[in-house]
């Protein structure tokens, strides 16, 4: 079976006062906030003078404090194969997201907007949003992850101040992870002519592509009559490459077909974006104009693999939740860009937005940086996973929410697949099959160019019910032992590892003796970073690697997860104080764990990898067996302890444990130096690395991911702080309390150490290091100039670093 899909993609470039002669887009950033029941707050003349002033995006719960009583759930998690209900204290992050919150702001609408159309657009509001203008309710949206908008032309008074109020309410037992709270994504007011392009009104496809030319089809939904659409396409340098115009209007649509010669195709390795300037004219007068970035690419799903622009491409993907660690769920482009840069170095080429609709900023960055995306819609349909989850809204809102997802994002080149759900209990029985049919048809109606998947964990059930056969792309969550049977029984001819591994680890923590197994727990509530511990439903990474390598019909994998996230602290979800996940290849602070390098050694084919674990500071273990593992892109390496060879190890395709990692299981610990020399295919030394036993903590080393910030009040630099000895070696067991001060044009924003058991609050300027490290976030203000981060700790030489905050270009 072959399914072929062509797509020509765009991103609507949003900025304040874009094309002021035809439309403006105003980000509504400054609001007043109150948490609690205040049912008169929607009224225009309500006194909010004592409310907190906040900037949007805003997550009201991330400042904590952590509390085990918050959303404590007595529950049996069927997805985790649990047979009895137990107390889950950190399942949703133990942060105070439950309850009611109010936001209010005042907008002055000028008289010049008298004959304009006004649209109030929300990128996301958590959750059960009710929106009021001047005391009148204009609409609501229950789903906290959905994009939505209202036409408020008749509600906003021109030449006057207008009060906008938003009421949000998060219910207990409404999530399986930390959902955040508040207006956590952007809110915009769009002002345009009544004769204009409709909101989310462009659809761009490429029904024909070859090396010489691409046919670009732009369908624009318009408002008005006697209209023409003109388009100029420019390359990434702004040079015109093609143009077209059309005045034939059918209903509310005008279609253009534009030829692009010698097209440069979009892919993860070459994320080339063109720009289209699309203009709407009525009787020769300019009425609307939008500037759009887009990519040209072709996707195809076959039993021989997923093909991108005709080339087989394995999905080397990760699942990502939407929180940004110490920032909570409040969207921040600098934090998202940092995440993607870390994943790019990993060799990752794909992201699944688990288990909800991705932010528009994330999609824009994926377009620019080159990531394939599965855009997921729901974690729950009609049958509940949690009492107050999406099941409450499915019947009334599922179609509207899918429509919003597709219409708002369908023109991003990064999106190559839609996901209608994740591990939904509706996988069982005929009713679930009917719901799948219904949802998949909505996706197909809104976008016939991409396939639809669902992450299925009840593989035997979907084989029997026909659920798996209905899907465009059968997505299997784990159940690797059923891959062969699923491949034989499903008609599509291929399957996708939509969720894989669920290996657990804590950065820099190692347990002895080294064990392989599932649901292993320890008194310190940490998991071993030897990367051999996993969950009852999953496996070590190698099991998935083999499936990817040996079967073309396995399209690839999406590892659970790329980064740690708040909530779901398996295998300690019924232990306190665990409050964040252990699944990530990268910890909550954005510091890679050992497992990051295991995947990097496979996925990053451009750069060398050589990584040694564990660390070599083991007071009291002298003379005891301390295994050494090496993750490397080379097939062979030699280990030396204090100059003495421990032998050469080579990867062995006939052994599960030795196929992708090199292991010296019988090393006897003695302090000193560990060195590994990797050999190329000819037996020549190709790369080497050393780690040493560090001395006593001496001083602090600071390293910024960015030294130059933009003076926009939201840009961030992530500064990694390491406790090191007098020679600059990391002290890997250091747990020093550090204090932070920012001087100059910047501000202290947050800190995070990656410890899933830490109850220290991110926004306070003090925190302990975890395994010798933590990360401090420095935020720009609207001022330009130098800013300095100063970090101090008892008994340690002070560390400091200077950053430059520059005017926007």
Provide block-wise average pLDDT over 10 residues at a time, the chain (809 residues): 39 35 92 94 96 98 97 80 82 98 98 96 98 98 98 97 98 97 98 97 91 94 97 96 97 97 97 95 96 94 97 98 98 98 98 98 98 98 97 98 97 97 95 97 97 97 96 98 97 98 98 96 98 96 96 98 98 96 98 98 97 98 98 98 98 95 98 98 97 98 98 97 98 98 97 98 98 98 97 98 95
Domain co-membership, 250 together with 326 = no
**Tokens 């528009």 label which residue?**
360
Q: Please tell me what DSSP assigns to residue 640.
A: E
Q: Is the dihedral of CA 643, 694, 789, 333 positive or negative?
A: positive
Count of Cβ atoms closer than 10 Å to residue 44 Cβ = 16
**Tokens found for residue 751:** 């800190």
| Cα–Cα distance measured from residue 597 to residue 662, given in angstroms and rounded to the nearest whole number | 12
Sheet-wide strand order for 296-302: 3-8, 296-302, 305-308, 311-312
Tokens of 479: 């159940």
Residues 479 and 503 in one domain: yes
Compute CA distances 239 → 205, 279, 615, whole Å.
22, 18, 53
Same domain for 522 and 635? no
- pLDDT recorded at residue 8: 36
The residue out of 192, 213, 247 marking a domain boundary is 192
Q: Examine residue 506 and state whether it is found in any structural domain, yes or no.
A: yes
The DSSP H or E segment spanning 198 is: strand 196-209
User: Does 306 lie in the same domain as 291?
Assistant: no
Please identify, among 192, 225, 240, the residue that sits at the C-terminal boundary of a domain: 192
> Please, which residues have CB within 8 angstroms of residue 210's CB and are 6 or more apart in sequence?
none
Q: Which pLDDT value is given to residue 530? A: 98
Same domain, 635 and 705: no
Assigned token pair, 310: 């005709």
204 bridge partner residues: 218
For residues 430 and 462, give the distance between their C-alpha atoms in angstroms, rounded to a whole number: 10
Q: Specify whether 545 is located in the same domain as 578.
A: yes
215 CA to centre of own chain: 32
Domain count, the chain: 5
Whether 184 is in a domain gets the answer: yes
Active site residue 423: yes
- Check 291, 380, 423, 533 and give the catalytic one: 423
One domain, residues 387 and 527: yes
CA 776 to chain centre: 20
Supply the angle between the helices 394-409 and 360-369 in degrees, to the nearest 10. Answer: 40
Q: Same structural domain for residues 457 and 415?
A: yes
Ramachandran assignment for 647, one of left (phi > 0), alpha (psi -120 to 50 degrees), beta (any other): left
The answer to the question of residue 609 being in a domain is no
- d(Cα 403, Cα 259) in Å, to the nearest integer? 29
pLDDT at 15: 33
* pTM, entire model: 0.96
Domain-embedded: residue 16: no
pLDDT at residue 88, as a whole number: 84
Element (H, E) at 5: strand 3-8
- Sign of the CA dihedral 706, 188, 111, 113? positive
CA distance 651 to 681: 12
Give the whole-angstrom CA distance, residue 796 versus residue 56.
Answer: 38
CA-closest candidate to residue 358, choices 397, 406, 314: 406
- Contact between 164 and 107 under an 8 Å Cβ cutoff? The reply is yes
Q: Tell me how far apart the alpha carbons of residues 620 and 283 are, in angstroms, rounded to a whole number.
A: 85
For helices 333-346 and 360-369, what crossing angle results, to 10°? 40
Same domain? 639 vs 741: no
Which residue, 580, 603, 626, sits at the end of a domain? Answer: 603
**CA–CA dist 583, 561 (Å, integer):** 6
- For residue 149, what pLDDT is reported? 98
- Residue 256 counted as domain residue: yes
Structure confidence at residue 19 (pLDDT):
38
* Residue 663 covered by a domain: yes
pLDDT, position 263: 97
Structural domain that includes position 762: 699-806
Residues 432 and 558 in one domain: yes
Structure tokens at 677: 């020399």
Write down the pLDDT at residue 744: 96
Terminal CA-CA length for the chain: 50
> Do 400 and 271 have their domain in common?
no
How does pLDDT run across 68-89, given as a tens digit for each residue?
999 998 787 777 777 788 888 9
Residue 104 lies inside a defined structural domain of this protein: yes
From 298, 446, 499, 568, active-site residue: 499
Residue 13: what pLDDT?
33
Q: Are residues 338 and 423 in the same domain?
A: yes
DSSP 8-state class, residue 770: B
Examine residue 507 and state whether it is found in any structural domain, yes or no. Answer: yes
User: Bridge-partner residues for 624, per DSSP?
Assistant: none
CATH code at position 705: 2.60.40.10
* Pair of tokens at residue 356: 């909800």
Please compute Rg for the chain using Cα positions: 27
Closest C-alpha among 282, 280, 279 to residue 225? 282
- Could you tell me if 664 and 649 are in contact, meaning their C-beta atoms sit under 8 angstroms apart? yes
Sequence-separated (6 or more) residues with CB below 8 Å from residue 548: 314, 497, 554, 556, 557
C-alpha torsion angle, residues 60, 62, 68, 71 (rounded to 10): 50
| DSSP 8-class letter at 441 | H
CATH of the domain at 496: 3.20.20.80
The CATH number of residue 52's host domain is 2.60.120.260
């Amino acid at each position: 079976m072959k399914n072929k899909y062509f797509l020509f993609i765009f991103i609507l470039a949003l900025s304040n006062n874009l094309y002021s002669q035809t439309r403006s887009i105003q980000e509504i950033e400054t609001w007043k906030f109150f948490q609690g029941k205040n049912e008169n707050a929607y009224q225009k003349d309500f006194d909010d003078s004592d409310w907190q002033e906040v900037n949007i995006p805003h997550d009201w719960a991330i400042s904590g404090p952590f509390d085990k009583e918050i959303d404590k759930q007595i529950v049996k998690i069927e997805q985790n194969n649990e047979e009895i209900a137990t107390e889950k204290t950190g399942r949703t992050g133990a942060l105070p997201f439950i309850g009611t919150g109010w936001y209010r702001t005042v907008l002055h609408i000028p008289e010049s907007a008298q004959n304009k159309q006004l649209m109030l657009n929300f990128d996301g509001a958590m959750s059960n949003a009710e929106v009021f203008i001047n005391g009148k309710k204009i609409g609501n949206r229950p789903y906290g992850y959905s994009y939505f908008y209202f036409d408020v032309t008749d509600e906003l008074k021109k030449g006057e101040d207008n009060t906008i109020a938003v009421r949000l309410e998060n219910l207990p037992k409404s999530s399986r992870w930390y959902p955040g709270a508040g207006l956590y994504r952007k809110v915009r007011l769009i002002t345009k002519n009544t004769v204009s392009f409709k909101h989310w009104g462009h659809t761009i496809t490429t029904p024909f592509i070859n090396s010489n030319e691409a046919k670009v089809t732009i369908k624009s939904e318009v408002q008005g009559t006697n209209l023409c659409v003109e388009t100029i396409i420019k390359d990434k340098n702004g040079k015109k490459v093609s143009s077209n115009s059309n005045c034939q209007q059918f209903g509310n649509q005008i279609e253009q077909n534009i030829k692009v010669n010698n097209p440069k195709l979009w892919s993860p390795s070459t994320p080339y974006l063109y720009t289209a300037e699309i203009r709407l004219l009525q009787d020769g007068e300019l009425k609307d104009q939008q500037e759009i970035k887009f990519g040209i690419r072709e996707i195809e799903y076959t039993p021989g693999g997923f093909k991108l622009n005709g080339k087989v491409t394995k999905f080397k993907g990760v699942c990502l939740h939407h929180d940004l660690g110490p920032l909570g769920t409040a969207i921040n482009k600098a934090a998202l860009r940092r995440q993607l840069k870390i994943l790019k170095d990993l060799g990752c080429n794909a992201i699944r937005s688990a288990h909800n609709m991705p932010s528009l900023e994330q999609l824009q960055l994926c377009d620019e940086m080159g990531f394939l995306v599965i855009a997921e819609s729901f974690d729950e349909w009609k049958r509940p996973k949690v009492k107050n989850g999406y099941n409450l809204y499915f019947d009334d809102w599922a179609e509207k929410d899918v429509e919003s997802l597709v219409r708002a994002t369908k023109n991003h080149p990064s999106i190559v697949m839609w996901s209608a759900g994740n591990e939904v209990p509706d996988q069982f029985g005929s009713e679930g099959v009917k719901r799948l049919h219904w949802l998949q048809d909505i996706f197909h109606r809104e976008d016939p160019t991409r396939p639809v998947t669902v992450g299925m964990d009840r593989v035997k059930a979907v084989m029997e019910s026909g659920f798996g056969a209905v899907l465009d792309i059968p997505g299997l969550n784990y159940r690797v032992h059923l891959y062969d049977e699923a491949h034989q029984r499903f008609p599509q001819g291929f399957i996708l590892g939509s969720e894989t591994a669920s290996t657990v680890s804590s950065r820099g923590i190692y347990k002895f003796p080294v064990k392989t197994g599932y649901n292993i727990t320890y008194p310190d509530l940490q998991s071993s970073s030897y990367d051999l511990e996993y969950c009852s439903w999953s496996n070590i990474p190698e099991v998935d690697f083999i499936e990817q390598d040996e079967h073309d019909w396995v399209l690839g994998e999406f590892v659970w997860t790329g980064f740690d996230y708040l909530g779901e602290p398996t295998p300690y979800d019924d232990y306190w104080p665990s409050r964040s996940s252990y699944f990530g290849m990268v910890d909550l602070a954005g510091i890679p764990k050992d497992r990051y390098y295991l995947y990097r050694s496979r996925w990053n084919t451009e750069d060398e990898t050589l990584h040694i674990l564990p660390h070599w500071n083991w007071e009291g273990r002298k003379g005891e067996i301390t295994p050494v593992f090496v993750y490397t892109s080379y097939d062979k390496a030699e280990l030396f302890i204090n100059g003495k060879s421990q032998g050469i190890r080579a990867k062995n395709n006939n052994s599960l444990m030795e196929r992708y990692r090199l292991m010296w299981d019988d090393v006897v610990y003695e302090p000193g130096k560990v060195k590994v020399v990797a050999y190329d295919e000819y037996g020549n030394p190709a790369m080497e690395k050393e780690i040493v036993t560090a001395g006593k903590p001496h001083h602090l080393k600071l390293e910024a991911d960015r030294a130059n910030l933009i003076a926009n009040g939201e840009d961030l630099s992530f500064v990694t702080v390491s406790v090191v000895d007098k020679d600059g070696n990391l002290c890997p067991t250091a747990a020093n309390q550090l204090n932070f001060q920012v001087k100059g044009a910047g501000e202290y924003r947050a800190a995070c150490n990656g410890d899933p058991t830490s109850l220290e609050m991110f926004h306070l300027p003090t925190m302990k290091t975890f395994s010798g490290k933590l990360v401090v976030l420095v935020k720009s203000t609207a001022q330009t100039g130098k800013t300095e981060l100063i970090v101090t700790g008892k008994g340690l030489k002070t560390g400091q670093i200077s950053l430059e905050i520059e005017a926007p270009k």
